[in-house]
């Protein structure tokens, strides 16, 4: 064969091999014997080796072609990766639906967009009768897409022009690890899609029960510890630096969500867009070549959802993969977009967990831990017992009220349960097994760490703020009231330097504890004033190790806004809430906040109502933010950080917010030539605007490229302004 014929043969072999791979690993319908498949594969491998000029990263031969890595690179997700809240019974499901309907009724999108097939739709919009609207919302029935909750490892896959370029773990939701080489070894995962599109999709990597049994048998023979469960085995395989190890473990996957989807710039076919419903989205994923779990169902009510849940509670163990519940999503993507997210999870979805595994054991002691907020948490020290695939010796008792409700005593035989990654907890006491030697437990009146007084917390009203301490002081927890308690300060400091905060490499828990014990640091700001000479006298701190730590501290002084807010350890302000503040602050009257000086001068002035206006910020988070920034000592701490050189940037890339598009909402459609859609979204957000995925009367502009689709048509009908690429660039320059 000449070179042209060889290239055609290679391309034909790749296409045929991929077709048979899809039939075998995705459709479970093989068309040829394994030997025939292997013969085709060997021919392709030989031709590519003899003709390297025709090599391709998407070739089937490249699934295990990478060299072992020295370490995984970090990758910042283009879209924040959320986790679902959990419910455990039908009452929780009904409560979630009621809460969701209330959120829909309060949303600012037009009523016609919320109630799509209502006979009162025109009447409601015409009269704008709020009472009538509330009644109609109450009677409105939501459709739900119910899917299996696979107990595996979440993965985020990015394709460019239909070819897989990056596969990453979830990580902290904003930044994950690049594990592309390992994910390529999964035979059910396409390296090249049926459509030439730019897409980011989300799914779950998992290991079958049969494969786990085979691996554990081999590990036991070799004197290695067996994997506790399929989830641990899958996660451990994906985090192997050598992709050949991952390939040997025969992982599988299901894909269930599309984060972004658009035609590649040079693809002139019809524009492809994310469908309007979750059910249609799953069908599109199948057409694109992904393996989609077939056991999903459209349910018209929570009663139907409950029936689906109960049926799978009975048959979940019959599957060859682990399932720990079902995921319930509102089927309409328009409603999903309208509902948005809380600080940590989508409002439009919930995870309905299967009953937790339960075992019995003995409570050998009850101890009290002191957290960074000063909360005292009673913890049962248990006779070690295996549950949910791991051995546990601790279980939370939550608080004194829970201990009294259970009437749990030291020496009791108790039932504990554990579901997935949830901390084990005591659920009941087997009182019939008591022999009289059991001892009652009472919460201490003094802190076990510092000896300070302990009482139920009463949150202080912030100065000059109308702050009603409803939820914060109704907690059943006991708190150490000594703000200088060593356990509290140590916990706060560890949280401050953690990976999700300032990420100071080399400054671990033991070093922080030593620095505090020696009096070298007394608060988090002191860290940034450390010198090499402060560290050298400490045991095991040579000159070079001292210099490396100081270098790490200096490097950490420039920090993203969301990581800075998280590091402060403000109650009810976790990493997701911090991201919401960063992403949505530009849509408030405080949109010019960009530096630490801005935070020091402005944040103490922000009211609860102001914080509540930030999309996704709830009442508890708002109250807590006001309380923290109204405390003069906290503001003084920020001022010290500023003096020691701490600098806030908008995000990890150092971009700052402008105001050319402040308060404007954009929707993107069609093919852009000068930049990608994600780049356009970044431009909009950097100038204070926001991006929506659906067109409504609240949309200010539709940015339309070539081959614009249905969003363009809807904008015309609603009278929304349409701007092309050239006009958009002019808006940014003016």
Strands annotated E in 33-180: 74-76, 86-87, 144-150, 153-160, 163-169, 175-177
- 291 pLDDT above the threshold of 70: yes
| Domain CATH code at residue 54 | 1.10.287.610
| Domain CATH code at residue 396 | 2.40.50.140
From 114, 133, 149, 681, the catalytic residue: 149
Residue 365: beta bridge partners? 381
Indicate whether 269 and 171 sit together in one domain. yes
Strands annotated E in 620-682: 647-649, 665-669
149 noted as active-site residue: yes
Q: Identify whether 381 is part of a domain.
A: yes
**Cα separation of 513 and 490, whole Å?**
7
Q: Identify whether 90 is part of a domain.
A: no
**Cα separation of 648 and 635, whole Å?**
15
Rounded to the nearest 10°, the torsion over CA 653, 657, 658, 660 is 100
Residue 380 tokens, joined: 């049962």
pLDDT in tens, 14-39: 889 888 888 877 777 888 887 788 78
Q: Which residues span the domain enclosing 705?
A: 665-733
Q: Identify whether 564 is part of a domain.
A: no
- 654 pLDDT above the threshold of 70: no
Q: Identify whether 55 is part of a domain.
A: yes
Residue 271: the pLDDT is: 63
| Domain CATH code at residue 691 | 3.40.50.10190
- 461 pLDDT above the threshold of 50: no
Question: What sign does the CA torsion over 525, 527, 528, 529 have?
Answer: positive
DSSP string, 40-56: HHHHHHHHHHH-GGG--
- 107 pLDDT above the threshold of 90: no
Q: Identify whether 218 is part of a domain.
A: yes
Q: What is the mean pLDDT of residues 663-685?
A: 82
Confidence of residue 241 (pLDDT cuts 50, 70, 90): confident
Is residue 355 within 8 Å of 328, Cβ to Cβ? no
Q: Which of 569, 690, 80 is nearest to 346 (CA)?
A: 80
Indicate whether 278 and 407 sit together in one domain. no
- 186 pLDDT above the threshold of 90: yes
| Pairing relationship of beta strands 413-418 and 357-370 according to DSSP bridges | antiparallel
- 468 pLDDT above the threshold of 50: no
**Cα separation of 686 and 591, whole Å?**
11
User: How many domains is the chain partitioned into structurally?
Assistant: 5
Residue 692 tokens, joined: 């929506």
Q: What is the mean pLDDT of the chain?
A: 83
- 119 pLDDT above the threshold of 50: no
**Cα separation of 607 and 468, whole Å?**
12
Q: Which of 66, 80, 54, 39 is nearest to 1 (CA)?
A: 54
Q: What phi and psi values does residue 299 have, to the nearest 5 degrees?
A: -115, 135
Residue 524: the pLDDT is: 93
Residue 657: the pLDDT is: 54
Q: Which of 23, 30, 33 is nearest to 289 (CA)?
A: 23
Q: State what percent of residues in the chain have pLDDT above 90.
A: 33
- 540 pLDDT above the threshold of 80: no
């Amino acid at each position: 064969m000449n070179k042209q014929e060889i290239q055609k043969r290679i391309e034909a072999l790749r296409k045929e091999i991929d077709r048979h791979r899809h039939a075998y690993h995705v459709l479970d319908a093989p068309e040829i014997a394994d030997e025939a498949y292997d013969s085709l594969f060997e021919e392709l491998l030989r031709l590519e080796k003899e003709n390297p000029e025709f090599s391709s990263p998407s070739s089937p031969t490249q699934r295990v072609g990478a060299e072992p890595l020295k370490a995984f690179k970090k990758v910042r997700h283009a879209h924040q990766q959320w986790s679902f809240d959990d419910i455990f019974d039908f009452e929780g499901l009904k409560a979630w639906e009621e809460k969701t309907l209330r959120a829909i009724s309060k949303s600012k999108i037009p009523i016609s967009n919320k109630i799509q097939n209502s006979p009162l739709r025109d009447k409601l919009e015409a009269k704008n009768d709020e009472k009538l609207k509330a009644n109609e919302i109450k009677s409105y029935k939501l459709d739900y897409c119910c899917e299996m909750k696979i107990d595996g490892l979440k993965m985020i896959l990015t394709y460019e022009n239909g070819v897989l370029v990056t596969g990453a773990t979830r990580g902290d939701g904003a930044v994950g690890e690049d594990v592309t080489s390992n994910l390529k070894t999964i035979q059910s995962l396409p390296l090249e899609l049926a459509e030439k599109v730019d897409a980011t999709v989300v799914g779950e990597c998992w290991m079958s029960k049969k494969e786990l049994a085979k691996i554990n048998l081999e590990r036991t023979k070799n004197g290695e510890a067996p994997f506790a469960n399929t989830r641990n085995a899958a996660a451990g395989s994906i985090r192997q630096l050598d992709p050949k190890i991952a390939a040997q473990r025969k992982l599988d996957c299901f894909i269930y969500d599309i984060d972004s989807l658009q035609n590649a710039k040079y693809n002139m076919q019809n524009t492809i867009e994310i469908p309007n419903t979750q059910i249609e989205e799953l069908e599109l994923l199948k057409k694109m070549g992904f393996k989609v779990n077939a056991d999903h169902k459209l349910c018209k009510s929570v009663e139907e959802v409950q029936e689906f849940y109960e049926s799978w509670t009975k048959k979940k163990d019959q599957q060859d993969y682990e399932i720990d519940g079902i995921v319930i999503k509102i089927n309409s993507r328009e409603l999903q977009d309208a509902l948005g997210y809380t600080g940590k999870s989508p409002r439009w979805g919930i995870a309905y967990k299967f009953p937790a595994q339960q075992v019995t054991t003995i409570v050998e002691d009850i101890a009290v831990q002191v957290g960074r907020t000063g909360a005292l948490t009673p913890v049962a020290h248990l006779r070690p017992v295996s549950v949910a695939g791991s051995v546990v010796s601790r279980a939370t008792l939550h608080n004194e009220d829970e201990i009294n409700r259970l009437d749990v005593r030291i020496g009791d035989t108790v039932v504990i349960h554990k579901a997935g990654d949830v901390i084990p907890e005591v659920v009941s006491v087997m009182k019939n097994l008591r022999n009289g030697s059991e001892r009652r437990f009472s919460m201490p009146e003094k802190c076990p760490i510092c000896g300070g007084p302990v009482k139920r917390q009463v949150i202080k009203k912030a100065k000059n703020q109308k702050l009603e301490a409803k939820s914060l002081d109704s907690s059943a927890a006991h708190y150490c009231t000594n703000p200088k308690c060593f356990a509290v300060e140590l916990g706060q400091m560890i949280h401050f330097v953690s990976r999700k905060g300032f990420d100071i490499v080399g400054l671990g828990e033991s070093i922080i504890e030593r620095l505090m014990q020696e009096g070298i640091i007394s608060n988090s700001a002191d860290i940034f004033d450390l010198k090499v000479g402060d560290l050298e006298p400490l045991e095991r701190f040579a000159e070079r190790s001292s210099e490396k730590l100081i270098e790490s501290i200096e490097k950490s002084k420039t920090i993203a806004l969301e990581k800075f807010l998280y590091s402060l350890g403000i109650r009810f302000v976790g990493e997701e809430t911090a991201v919401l503040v960063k992403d949505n602050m530009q849509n408030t009257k405080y949109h010019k906040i960009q530096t630490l000086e801005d935070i020091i001068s402005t944040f103490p002035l922000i009211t609860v109502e102001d914080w509540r206006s930030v999309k996704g910020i709830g009442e508890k988070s708002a109250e807590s933010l006001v309380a923290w920034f109204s405390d003069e000592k906290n503001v003084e701490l920020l001022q010290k950080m500023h003096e020691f050189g701490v600098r806030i940037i908008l995000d990890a890339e150092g971009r700052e917010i402008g105001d050319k598009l402040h308060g404007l909402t954009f929707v993107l459609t069609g093919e852009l030539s000068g930049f990608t859609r994600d780049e356009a979204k970044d431009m909009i957000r950097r100038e204070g605007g926001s991006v929506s995925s659906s067109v409504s009367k609240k949309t200010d502009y539709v940015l339309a490229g070539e081959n614009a689709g249905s969003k363009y048509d809807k904008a015309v009908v609603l009278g929304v302004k349409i701007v092309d690429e050239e006009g958009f660039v002019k808006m940014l320059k003016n």
